Amino acid sequence: MTSKSSDKILKRMMDLHPKVIDLTLDRVLKLLDALNNPHKKLPPVIHIAGTNGKGSTLSMIRSGLESAGKSVHTYTSPHLIRFNERIRLAGKLITEDELSALLDECYEANSGEEITYFEITTCAAILAMSRQEANYTLLEVGLGGRLDATNVVERPELAVITPISLDHEQFLGNSIEKISSEKAGIIKKNTPIVVSSQNEKAFEVIEKKARALSAPIYAHGNQWLAWEERGRLVYQDDRGLLDIPYPSLKGDHQIINAGCALQALRLLENGQLKNFEEVMGKVHWPARMQKLKDGVLNKYLPSAEIWLDGGHNPAAGEAIAAHLSKLSPRPTYAICGMLNTKDVKGFLTPLEAQIDKLFGISIPDETNTLSGKETSKEANCVGIESSISNSVEAALKIIKNEAKNPRIIICGSLYLAGHVLKLHEYEIK
């Protein structure tokens, strides 16, 4: 199969990448200026930062707006299978022809200057979204917030900060306070900010920044609450109580993500959005506690229950463990591959009580992967029986021979998740 033209252009863009990544908005603003400032022509922007739950919360907000008949652009990262997944224009994935033309245009406008892959592709996404009408633009922060390439919109309609935890310390700082300060960089003067459940220190940083900018703050535990009751989602704010279906996305943490999304939706359209009964059941976000079904892996292991999650930090490990603890008993295996920049021990420690055996693997075609040997070693250190496997397929073969009705969680990285979805022949629409 021949490579798509967008893939060739994206590969060419990597040659422009600075040898050392320095977080700055200078390169992005320069390129946007050369493109006639498309970031100033976007439909009303909802800007979403945080460590965990950004994508899930974004997908819920999108679902709510689309259920109300609104058209929505979205920009998310990273992609799982195809780059096109990052950009939706009025609800539809950008086409290959559109993407290739945009990438070429941005490459030419950049005139060979140094720029990171994420920066130039973000400019391409902004350019695409500026040229097509929509009611809203949902922008997901890539890294941090303050100096992230998406933080070029001067007056967003709304900002959202999902739960913050330690991650990307090499870029954002080695404390919750430092990381929170970077995330809070998306707060703009007089712009409402929805804040999800936060570590106390994180919230103090966010609240201080919001007050300094006179940004109205709508925080979990203060202005709104969300909880599970009798298998349903209950949400409360100063507008009243909602009792609606449980989110289709799995995991207790999705209750808070759903509450955050509902608060955002309640602040839009002058509070006139009412279709909340429909919203949560329609949400789908691949590789977030996704139960694989009706695909290649299910045919290979028909008796297995297979879950896929791209979480990769200690908070994600806790969320996966909490979900597994509520399922009926089965022999439970993990297939885990992680990047060498992540806190492997922190991610694996919460899983110790839920995993019978783990297979450490290297993420295919990923330069910055932790080796399967190192992952397996870290698993042993936290008390999980583990061994090394050459691939996902090899690990599945061993599990198939060892257990009759296994439960398998494939986890540790969104890059691994993308590889698994390809194996599964899963199509993202």
DSSP 164-195: --S--HHHH-SSHHHHHHHHGGG--TT--EEE
pLDDT at 286 over 80: yes
DSSP letters along 33-87, please?
Answer: HHTT-GGGS-SSEEEEE-SSSHHHHHHHHHHHHHHTT--EEEE-SS-SS-GGGGE
> Kind and range of the H or E element at 74?
strand 72-75
Classify residue 371 by its DSSP letter. P
Q: Which structural domains are found in the chain, ordered by start?
A: 5-282 (3.40.1190.10), 290-423 (3.90.190.20)
SS3 content of the chain, % helix, strand, coil (to 5): 40, 15, 40
Buried b (16+ CB within 10 A) or exposed e, 280-301: bebbebbbbbbebeebebbeeb
**312: buried, middle or exposed (CB in 10 Å: 19+, 13-18, 0-12)?**
buried
Structure tokens, 359: 């297979």
* 3-class state of residue 207 by DSSP: helix
Regarding predicted confidence, which is higher, 391 or 11?
Answer: 391
Nearest Cα to Cα of residue 270 among 162, 192, 197, 189? 192
Residue with tokens 């139960």: 291
What is the per-residue pLDDT across 351-363, written as a single tens digit (0 to 9) for each? 999 999 999 999 9
Q: Name residue, tokens 């919109």.
A: 153
Mean pLDDT, all residues of the chain: 92
Query: 222: which DSSP letter?
Result: T
Whether residue 254 contacts residue 56, with contact meaning beta carbons closer than 8 Å, is answered with yes
Q: Examine the pLDDT at 1 and tell me if it is beyond 90.
A: no
Q: Full-prediction pTM beyond 0.85?
A: yes
Q: Check residue 339 and report its DSSP letter.
A: B
- 420 pLDDT tier (thresholds 50, 70, 90): very high
Q: How confident is the model at residue 152 (pLDDT cuts 50, 70, 90)?
A: very high
Mean pLDDT is lowest, of 18-32, 163-177, 191-205, 374-388, for 163-177
The length of the chain in residues reads 429
